[in-house]
Amino acid sequence: MSHSAVAQDTEHAGFVEMQRLAYAGAQAVAATLEPGVTERQAARRLRDWLHDHGVQDWFHTPFAWFGDRTAFRNFRTPLQFFPSNRRLEDGMPFILDCAPVRDTYVADIGYAGRIGDNPVHDQLMTDLAEYRTLILEQVRQRRPLREIYVEVDALITRQGYDNRHQVYPGRVIAHQVARVHSRLPQAIVAGFGVRALQTLLGDLLVERLHHRSPLWADGKISQHAPTPGLWAVEPHIAFRGVGVKFEEMLVVTEDDAYWLDDAVPHVQRWRGTT
């Protein structure tokens, strides 16, 4: 039995289901995209689709980035991450990103695609596969998270691309994921669900006591072996104004690691099954 199959039969089954639902929503909305659609319209379509399929809350509401915004071109403030009135054009790349919550289970996914032909996007997507392999191998070797981040940077340099996950708040390439348990009323503040944020902040306080962080970046606080649990991992690369990424959950145990589920769109693409 594969690790992914094991994950579906154990306590991770709810996370597998949520991740598949989130990706199904992204694919469904991607199929509706056409020239003239704005980022805000795409994000609203994804939010509505997920609500219609039982999503009750959010770690963060859906994002959509079109064109050179997929590469975070000239992003300098957090507000620039939110969906804009940028309209999709033929040949443009896009990224859909969402983090829904249902029955306390969370998913956080990123889905990259294009409208029409875009050879740069296609090459980036092909090269992105190497990051999934590298990250898993390095985590299995129990290398410090900070050093794995540096290895990812080195691969980006070798491929001749730009590191765009370093533009995310905190320069994070990943963050821990846990079931959402909170008595706070459901509310969204600046695109983030307050109940999921409370869970993350609680994890942050606990991890800081152990001189660790639930946020994986290139700072000193990430100079420790991979912490057991679930991590939403999102390497993001770009070239000539085109950005691509995947985001999916990685399971880390005391002595091993494996991707939560191999039935994700980017892996199926690399295997030629889609």
Domain definitions of the chain by residue range: 3-270
Superfamily for the 3-270 domain: Creatinase/methionine aminopeptidase superfamily (3.90.230.10)
- Distance, CA of 32 to CA of 23 (rounded, Å): 15
**Residue 11: predicted pLDDT:** 76
What CA dihedral angle connects 9, 140, 15 and 212, to 10 degrees?
130
* Inter-residue contact 19 to 261 (CB < 8 Å): yes
Per-residue pLDDT reduced to its tens digit, 104-140: 999 999 999 999 999 999 999 999 999 999 999 999 9
Q: What is the pLDDT along the chain (274 residues), one digit of tens a residue?
A: 345 444 445 779 999 999 999 999 999 999 999 999 999 999 999 999 999 999 999 989 999 999 999 999 999 888 899 999 999 999 999 999 999 999 999 999 999 999 999 999 999 999 999 999 999 999 999 999 999 999 999 999 999 999 999 999 999 999 999 998 877 778 887 777 777 777 776 766 766 666 778 899 999 999 999 999 999 999 999 999 999 999 999 999 999 999 999 999 999 999 987 5
Nearest-CA neighbor of 57 among 99, 96, 28, 20?
99
Please tell me whether the overall predicted TM-score, pTM, comes out greater than 0.85 for this model.
yes
Per-residue pLDDT reduced to its tens digit, 28-64: 999 999 999 999 999 999 999 999 999 999 989 999 9
Place of tokens 């994921």: 177
DSSP β-bridge partners for residue 93: 114
**Residue 203: predicted pLDDT:** 66
Distances, alpha carbon 230 to alpha carbons 27, 34, 46, in Å:
23, 35, 24
